[in-house]
């Protein structure tokens, strides 16, 4: 997943179609001098519809398409002919996309399934023709209803990645390296903080043709909830993960302290994240011998842990077994 191509937030201007006007028309045929009203109704204006597409993983295709406009409904006609409906406009989005009102911030809906369709801007109703207004006391109504105006407003589309496992850790903890080794993802890797600037997804294959999805997000630092580092801009991507994999390097001066800082930042962002299952991976363990590993075990948090080395490919099978055990129990 190329980081430059990942877009998880777009603001678009949606305009639905105006409904067609009803017709003021009277039936006029040979030998029928007073045929009465027969004006048809107008067609409704086109909707702007958001549709889930499992083939997409980013909102990149909407980055430079800011204005979405549906067509207007057709006017009614004589002989009770209803006007044509305006053409609906479909916006394909990845699964996990949330639609919001840009002005109020209200969440309108969330797209979770492939092919799911949700109307983000409803088209105007067609006006009633004069046939609808006839009555015993008003047999020749010479008026019809105009179509309802279309609506235009700014909307926000925000993507939350759908993954089974979310990688949580400080910058340079080895998250991207792990993802590149156990999946086909090719995140940018470097020996400096904040190499990862965008979330990355990878499909991890397990035994017996089973698999799970792992999400790597930019590193968290102390004070992230106040906007430090990359802030909490990408933390929403792990809200849907079934399991959080905390990654702390073996050369960390205080593993428990780092773990508690990460927990605190997650709690500040969304307390519900603390209800998720947690596993601790001690990375870069190829620099440790067996004696040092035994000494470190007494200083680890009381959650399931595993020592791994992505470069030496040590402990990765054990890690995948541990992850699958939790995912299989969900």
Cα separation, 248 vs 234, whole angstroms: 19
Distance, in Å, from the CA atom of 122 to the CA atom of 106, rounded to the nearest integer, reads 17
Contact residues for 109 (Cβ-Cβ < 8 A; gap 6+): 50, 98, 99, 118, 120
What the chain holds in terms of domains, given with CATH numbers, is: 1-159 (2.70.210.12), 165-329 (3.40.50.300)
The confidence score (pLDDT) of residue 191 equals 47
* Distance from C-alpha of 170 to C-alpha of 231, rounded to nearest angstrom: 12
pLDDT tens, per residue, the chain with 330 residues:
444 567 888 999 999 999 999 999 999 888 887 889 999 999 999 999 999 998 888 898 998 899 999 999 999 999 999 999 999 999 999 998 999 999 999 999 999 999 999 999 999 999 999 999 999 999 999 999 999 999 999 999 998 877 788 888 888 777 888 888 888 766 555 544 445 556 777 888 888 878 888 888 777 766 655 666 555 666 777 777 888 999 988 888 888 898 998 888 888 888 888 888 899 999 888 887 888 888 888 778 888 999 998 888 888 889 999 988 888 776
Nearest Cα to 17, choosing from 51, 54, 45, 57? 45
**Parallel/antiparallel/unpaired status of strands 48-52 and 117-121:** antiparallel
The residue written with tokens 């397990």 in the block is 206
* CB 122, CB 151: distance < 8 Å: yes
Q: C-alpha 158: how far from its chain's center?
A: 5
Quote the pLDDT of residue 102: 94
* Contact call for residues 164 and 330 (beta carbons, < 8 A): no
Structure tokens at 186: 């090719």
Strands 67-69 and 89-93: unpaired
Q: Give residue 251's pLDDT.
A: 85
Q: Is 15 helix (H, G, I), strand (E, B) or coil?
A: strand
Q: Decide if 145 contacts 128 (C-beta within 8 A).
A: yes
């Amino acid at each position: 997943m190329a980081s430059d191509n990942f877009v998880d937030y777009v603001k678009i201007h949606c305009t639905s179609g105006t409904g067609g006007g009803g017709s003021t028309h009277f039936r006029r045929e040979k030998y029928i001098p007073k045929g009465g009203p027969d004006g048809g109704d107008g067609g409704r204006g086109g909707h702007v519809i958001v549709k889930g597409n499992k083939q997409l993983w980013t909102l990149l295709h909407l980055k430079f398409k800011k204005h979405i406009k549906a067509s207007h409904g057709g006017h009614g006609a004589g002989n009770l002919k209803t006007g044509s409906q305006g053409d609906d406009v479909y916006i394909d989005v990845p699964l996990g996309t949330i639609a919001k009102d840009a002005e109020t911030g209200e969440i309108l809906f969330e797209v979770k399934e492939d092919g799911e369709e949700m109307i983000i801007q409803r088209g105007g109703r067609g006006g009633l023709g004069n046939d609808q207004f006839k009555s015993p006391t008003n047999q020749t109504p010479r008026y019809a209803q105009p179509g309802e105006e279309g609506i235009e407003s700014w909307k926000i589309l925000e993507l939350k990645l759908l993954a089974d496992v979310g990688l949580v850790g400080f910058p340079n903890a080895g998250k991207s390296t792990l993802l590149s080794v156990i999946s086909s993802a090719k995140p940018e890797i470097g020996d400096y903080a904040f190499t990862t600037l965008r979330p990355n997804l990878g499909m991890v294959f397990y035994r017996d043709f089973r698999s799970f999805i792992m999400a790597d997000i930019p590193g968290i630092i102390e004070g992230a909830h106040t906007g430090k580092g990359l802030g909490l801009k990408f933390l929403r991507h792990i809200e849907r993960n079934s399991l959080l994999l905390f990654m702390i390097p073996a050369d960390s001066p205080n593993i428990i302290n780092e773990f508690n800082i990460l927990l605190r930042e997650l709690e500040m962002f969304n307390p519900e994240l603390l209800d998720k299952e947690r596993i601790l991976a001690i990375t870069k363990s190829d620099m440790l011998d067996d004696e040092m590993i035994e000494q470190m075990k007494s200083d680890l948090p009381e959650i399931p842990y595993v020592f791994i080395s992505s470069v030496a490919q040590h402990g990765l099978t054990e890690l995948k077994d541990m992850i699958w055990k939790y995912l299989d129990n969900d």
